[in-house]
Amino acid sequence: MSTLTVNTIEEATTGGATVFTAKAFVNFNGTGTVAIRDEENVSSITDVTTGTYDVNWSNSFANADYLASGVTDNVQIGGECWQIYRTSQVPTSSELRVYSARYASAFDATYFHVIIHT
Amino acid sequence: MTKYRVIFDDPDHLDEPTKVLVPSQNWLDMAMAGNLPPIWVYWQLQDDEQKAIKEGRHKEFRHDPEKHALQRTAPRIGPLTEEEAMEYLVMKDLPRRCWAEEHNRPMFKIVRTEQVPSDRTFRNAWEMAA
């Protein structure tokens, strides 16, 4: 494997915008035997309790101010929403807690998808 | 796919259900290929951040660039077996109080995947067996 190390990638057009690449992502099963389906820069996830998971980054970020976004798939029922804990658990540069709820109750989504930009 | 999971209780929150750590296969492959830095590189970063949290300056906290870069630049520790990689992962991703402090019972166990229930109906009542 070869590694390309650069500070900034920009579009080739004049005045092109800086290209921001995702710094990490993870896609995992939230039901049955919890397992990571695919990831980048994730060393593990922790099944904390129903609908609640911690994502542990392989390499820590420079700080805890990264942007996390995500979505859940639920093949059985709809109506779920996805949110990130930012209250009771302090996010750190090495770990993020994610939580899924359906009608305000924690639930295990079939698939979780989390993506990080900085 | 890895055959291991880590089940653990947080000594500071023993009323919470037992947690299950699921390793990344990509990360384990990296560990077994010998591409990890020494564990102290991560501990150093965790210590600095925890200190900032305790001192109430986490919002302004940024890692020291030199310490942060060691994740990529520190000499690699060489190939690990899958079992050694799991032990490394415990020391990296579990709260340190789970494994570094003495308790009146083990706070974590490395188990086979099939030992973790797949039925999550009573997930909030899971407890680590003695």
Left if phi > 0, otherwise alpha if psi is -120 to 50, otherwise beta: which for A79? left
Domain map of chain A by residue range? 24-117
Query: Quick one: B5 and B55 in the same domain?
Result: no
Query: Quick one: B101 and B80 in the same domain?
Result: yes
- Global pTM reads 0.89
In terms of average pLDDT, the best of A85-94, A101-110, B90-99 is B90-99
Mutate to test the interface with B, among A58, A88, A95, A99 (most CBs of B within 10 A): A58
A74 and chain B: CB distance < 8 Å anywhere? no
Query: Quick one: B46 and B67 in the same domain?
Result: yes
Query: Quick one: B2 and B52 in the same domain?
Result: no
Query: Quick one: B101 and B44 in the same domain?
Result: no
Closest CA to B123 of B13, B12, B19, B3: B19
Chain A positions in Cβ-Cβ contact with residue B123 (cut-off 8 Å):
49-50, 108
A44 and chain B: CB distance < 8 Å anywhere? yes
Query: Quick one: B68 and B80 in the same domain?
Result: no
Domain tally, chain B: 2
Query: Quick one: B24 and B47 in the same domain?
Result: no
Query: Quick one: B21 and B84 in the same domain?
Result: yes
Query: Can you give the length of chain B in residues?
Result: 130
Query: Quick one: B85 and B29 in the same domain?
Result: yes
Domain that holds residue B99: 1-36+76-124
Chain B positions in Cβ-Cβ contact with residue A42 (cut-off 8 Å):
24, 26-27
What pLDDT digit, counting tens, does each position of B54-97 carry?
998 888 999 999 999 999 999 999 999 999 999 999 999 999 99
- Residue B50 belongs to some domain of the structure: yes
What pLDDT digit, counting tens, does each position of A32-52 carry?
889 999 999 999 999 999 989
- What span, in angstroms and rounded, lies between the C-alpha atoms of A72 and A30? 9
How much is the ipTM here? Answer: 0.94
- What span, in angstroms and rounded, lies between the C-alpha atoms of A80 and A101? 6
